[in-house]
Amino acid sequence: MDQFENTWAVLCTGHCLRVCSASHSPDQRAIRRAHVALLARLPRGSVTTDLSEIAKEIFAKSINISFFYNSYNFKPYAYVHFSSAATKESAMAAMDMPPLMDWQQITEHITTILEEITHLTAEFSQLQHWVKWLEDQHSSQPHPISLLSVVIFLVVFYNAF
Domain boundaries, the chain: 3-100, 105-160
Highest CATH level, class, for 3-100: alpha beta
Q: What's the predicted TM-score (pTM) here?
A: 0.51
SS3 12: strand
Q: Which of 75, 77, 5 is nearest to 38 (CA)?
A: 77
Q: Give ∠ CA 81-104-58 in degrees, rounded to 5.
A: 20
pLDDT at 101 over 70: no
pLDDT value, residue 145: 55
CA distances from 65 to 12, 22, 34, 55, 68 (A): 13, 23, 17, 12, 10
pLDDT at 58 over 60: yes
pLDDT at 22 over 60: yes
Residue 12 β-bridge partners: 15
